[in-house]
Amino acid sequence: MSEQYEEVVTSAKVRYVEVPGVAGEIALLTMDNGFDHTKPTTFGERGLANIDAALTEIEAHEPRVAAIAVTGKPFIFAVGADLKGIASIQDREQALATGREGHRVFKRLKDAAVPTFAFVNGAAMGGGLEIALHCDYRTISTGVPALALPECFLGLVPGWGGTQLLPNLIGPEKALQVIINNALSQNKMLKGPQALELGIADAGFEPADFLERSLDWAGQVLNGAVTVERPVIERGKAWQDVVAGARWFVDAKVKGSSPAPYKALDLVALAETASFEEGTAAEDEALADLIFSEELRAGLYAFDLVQRRAKRPAGAPDKALARKVTKVGVVGAGLMASQLALLFAQRLEVPVVMTDLDQGRLDGGVAYAHGEVDKLLQKGRVGKDKANRLKGLLTGSLTKDAFNDADFVIEAVFEEMGVKKTVLAELEQHVSAECVLATNTSSLSITEMASDLQHPERVVGFHFFNPVAVLPLLEIVRAEKTDDAALATAFATGKALKKSCILVKDAPAFVTNRLFMRFFGEVTKAIDEGTPFEVADKALDPLGLPMSPLQLLSFTGLPVSQHVAETLHEAFPDRFYVSPNLGRLVQNGVTSLFGADGTIDPDAQKLFETGSTVLTGEQVLQNALEAIADEADRIVREGVVAEPQDVDLALLLGGGWAFANGGITPYLDRTGISETVTGKRFLAQGLASLP
């Protein structure tokens, strides 16, 4: 701490600080669980009791303090309720008591006799953000990497004042962006400057001297040198219209599959007119309802997979075997290749060279990547120096000798075995003996692709999902001869790219695409046999998938989707359906079933030849679920992945499977479909015993 501030008294959690220009001390309460930043501070029963005791101590302090400030340990403010504690709650009364205790303790800051401040120095999520919202003023570090109310993502609602305080601070529209939109969009986090821009914080300071500057700013507020102005929040119809609009968003995102976001909307609507006591009582009731829901148990299971299993991939070799990657090559200059080149340059910050046979195509690919960097600069996500550095790392070459000193080369060319084998054979003539050769194939055999090479042991599958920058999954595929060094390098590179990696055995279409093509094959089959487009396409809505089957097939591109379906049909003709109608569309150059207005294109529909068998939406859904249960069981039994949990991770991170459903296997277990199809449950213990 700077010599400008004199520490007067120190206790276990509280210290009293004199600030120039302030008559009296500021009580600085630091939330710290005693561990380093890898174990964030959470609020369990004991944590709340410690804060309560610290506030009692501050109130009894003589002389009376001028203000109370709350901050966190290095890099962490607080990340909310202890999820393991939530999972251990036994009955509704205990759930109500948990909500009420958090409200009681936090409200002591809101009702304090002196001004209160939150100095948000690090990650703040859930209850961590809510305790800050109970304070009169907030500063935030520009280095804060994550600030969020993620409860709806898990199947809960912000239950310690968030639904009442945030909309009344920044307005319902911005509040719902945090509570609903961000939570339901892959649990999107705000960075410090974004939170400041939204008005969640009143001032922002650099990390290096954040505490000193926050104390100085608090002193200026206390002595009147700084006046904090807050926006006037529109109420009545304006508030109600915002909530109604958000309800449309929730319908589109979860399609009724999770009750949590709907309850959160009701609570934000209530916050317009209710007293704080009425609003928080309603939060308690909503929390108690949701804590015993299947959706929460499923959400906690999914969260645990993403936070634990995804960070320690099953079957990954010793990371000490990984080779250092100092230069990357990308074969191809199409959209996928350009996205990959940009990702490698951003995350690894090493030279990335793209190659193509055509100069115009190559120039276009490099220009695309440079243009995306310019967009990041315009949005303020990178500075000018970093933008120039990234563009300098991204170059193109018509010849593959540019890869002579590359450590990792990935091909992203046309999805045809002959083309890919030719590319890999050419690469082997240019790269070093230890260079890893990766393929982004979505369905082809890696083993066959490497079969004619002198060193097939260095070839590995590196299957990304589109859009590359958004979806976190990376399927790393081990072919028959892939060695541990190549595989370890692939996992280390995937981690550096900030992707969640799962190890996959070389099998047709691997995991995610194989499951979805079996799943969606029931939808396209139903349409071909006579079920109306709208009925079949909406049949899976109860699952809360981000896109309908036909939307996803069109987003991927009908030619690509059809190719994957044909590859799987060739491998497993009795299980994977290939739609002749979609094939006819591809032959006629149609790439999407949807027109510009988002509805089925009538011209595309005219090319369909359908039968007379009409199924209900419920029948289509049942058929699809039984098909995916069978395929998931086969994938596990064949050893394509280590366990059912890896199937769940694949769909959660690569297919947008709703967290509230917990992954496909627990959903199939609790609906009874697992036992109907396979005679057993995927997860023997169910969800009840999972954290």
Position 1 pLDDT exceeds 60 = no
Q: And the tokens for 508? A: 């047709």
Position 11 pLDDT exceeds 50 = no
Rounded to an integer, the average pLDDT of 435-440 is: 97
Whether residue 467 contacts residue 339, with contact meaning beta carbons closer than 8 Å, is answered with yes
Give the closest residue to 628 by CA, choosing from 513, 527, 547.
Answer: 513
Position 672 pLDDT exceeds 70 = yes
The predicted pLDDT at position 296 comes to 79
Confidence of residue 435 (pLDDT cuts 50, 70, 90): very high
The predicted pLDDT at position 690 comes to 41
CATH class of the domain at 319-505 = alpha beta
Q: And the tokens for 131? A: 């305790």
The predicted pLDDT at position 685 comes to 56
The predicted pLDDT at position 292 comes to 79
Whether residue 42 contacts residue 81, with contact meaning beta carbons closer than 8 Å, is answered with yes
Helix axes 644-654, 617-637, angle to 10 degrees: 130
593 φψ region: left (φ > 0), alpha (ψ -120 to 50), beta (else) = alpha
The predicted pLDDT at position 6 comes to 39
Question: Amino acid identity of 158?
Answer: P
Rounded to an integer, the average pLDDT of 462-475 is: 89
Burial track 284-316 (b if 16+ CB lie within 10 A, e otherwise): bbbbbbbbebbbbbbbbbbbbbbeebbeebebb
113 φψ region: left (φ > 0), alpha (ψ -120 to 50), beta (else) = alpha
Whether residue 282 contacts residue 100, with contact meaning beta carbons closer than 8 Å, is answered with no
Does the domain at 512-639 match CATH 1.10.1040.50? Answer given as: yes
Rounded to an integer, the average pLDDT of 588-596 is: 85
Q: And the tokens for 570? A: 């060739």
pLDDT digits (tens, 9 = 90+) for 651-664: 999 888 877 778 89
- How is the chain split into domains, by residue range? 6-292, 319-505, 512-639
pLDDT digits (tens, 9 = 90+) for 33-73: 887 777 888 888 888 889 999 999 999 998 999 999 999 99
Rounded to an integer, the average pLDDT of 101-106 is: 94
Confidence of residue 82 (pLDDT cuts 50, 70, 90): confident
Report the SS3 class of residue 594. Answer: strand
Strands of the 352-355 sheet, one edge to the other: 394-397, 352-355, 328-331, 408-411, 436-439, 459-463, 473-478, 500-505
pLDDT digits (tens, 9 = 90+) for 303-357: 888 888 888 899 999 999 999 999 999 999 999 999 999 999 999 999 999 999 9
Position 15 pLDDT exceeds 80 = yes
Position 512 pLDDT exceeds 60 = yes
The structure tokens 């990497």 sit at 145
328 φψ region: left (φ > 0), alpha (ψ -120 to 50), beta (else) = beta
CB-based contacts of 519, cutoff 8 Å, min separation 6: 540, 549, 624, 627, 628, 631
| DSSP strands (E only) in 276-326 | none
Q: And the tokens for 190? A: 């705000």
In order, the DSSP letters of 410-434 are: EE---S-HHHHHHHHHHHHTTS-TT
pLDDT digits (tens, 9 = 90+) for 546-564: 888 888 888 888 888 898 8
Position 689 pLDDT exceeds 50 = no
pLDDT digits (tens, 9 = 90+) for 149-208: 999 988 899 999 999 999 999 999 999 999 999 998 878 899 999 999 999 999 999 999
pLDDT digits (tens, 9 = 90+) for 350-387: 999 999 999 999 999 999 999 999 999 998 888 899 99
Confidence of residue 605 (pLDDT cuts 50, 70, 90): confident
Q: How many CB atoms lie within 10 A of CB 39?
A: 11
The whole-chain average pLDDT of the chain stands at 90
Burial track 532-543 (b if 16+ CB lie within 10 A, e otherwise): ebebbbbbbbeb
* Separation between Cα atoms, residue 156 and residue 468, nearest integer Å: 29
Between the two ends of the chain, the Cα-to-Cα distance in Å is 39
SS (H, E, C) 259-270: CHHHHHHHHHHH
Which of 6-15, 22-31, 509-518 is least confident?
Answer: 6-15
Position 598 pLDDT exceeds 60 = yes
pLDDT digits (tens, 9 = 90+) for 496-508: 999 999 999 999 9
Whether residue 42 contacts residue 33, with contact meaning beta carbons closer than 8 Å, is answered with yes
Position 283 pLDDT exceeds 80 = yes
- 248 alpha carbon, distance to own chain's centre: 21
> Helices then strands (H, E): number in the chain?
29, 18
pLDDT digits (tens, 9 = 90+) for 213-234: 999 999 999 999 999 999 999 9
Rounded to an integer, the average pLDDT of 235-259 is: 90
The predicted pLDDT at position 87 comes to 66
Position 4 pLDDT exceeds 50 = no
CB-based contacts of 419, cutoff 8 Å, min separation 6: 413
Rounded to an integer, the average pLDDT of 621-636 is: 96
What number of residues does the chain have? 691
Rounded to an integer, the average pLDDT of 626-650 is: 95
CB-based contacts of 258, cutoff 8 Å, min separation 6: 152, 155, 295, 544, 658, 660, 661
Greater confidence (134 vs 94) lies with 134
Confidence of residue 8 (pLDDT cuts 50, 70, 90): very low
Whether residue 547 contacts residue 467, with contact meaning beta carbons closer than 8 Å, is answered with no
Residue positions annotated with a catalytic role: 130, 151
pLDDT digits (tens, 9 = 90+) for 301-317: 888 888 888 888 999 99
509 φψ region: left (φ > 0), alpha (ψ -120 to 50), beta (else) = left
Give the CATH H-level superfamily of domain 6-292: 2-enoyl-CoA Hydratase; Chain A, domain 1 (3.90.226.10)
Which of 10-19, 96-105, 290-299, 538-547 is least confident?
Answer: 10-19
Bridge partners, residue 137, by sequence: 117
Rounded to an integer, the average pLDDT of 614-625 is: 96
The predicted pLDDT at position 235 comes to 92
